[in-house]
Amino acid sequence: MRANPGNMANMMRKMQKMQKEMKAAQAALEVKEYTQTSADDLVKVTMTGQHRLTDVTIDPKVIDPDDPDMLQDLLIETINQVLSDVDEDTEKTMGQYTRGLM
Q: Read off the pLDDT of residues 38-93 as tens digits, 9 standing for 90 and up.
A: 989 999 999 999 999 999 999 999 999 999 999 999 999 999 999 999 999 999 99
What's at 59, amino acid-wise?
D
Quote the pTM value. Answer: 0.78
Nearest in space to 98 (alpha carbons), one of 6, 25, 10, 11: 25
The pLDDT of residue 4: 74
pLDDT band for position 27 (cuts 50, 70, 90): very high
pLDDT at 102 over 60: no
Is 3.30.1310.10 the CATH classification of the domain at 5-98?
yes
pLDDT at 101 over 80: no
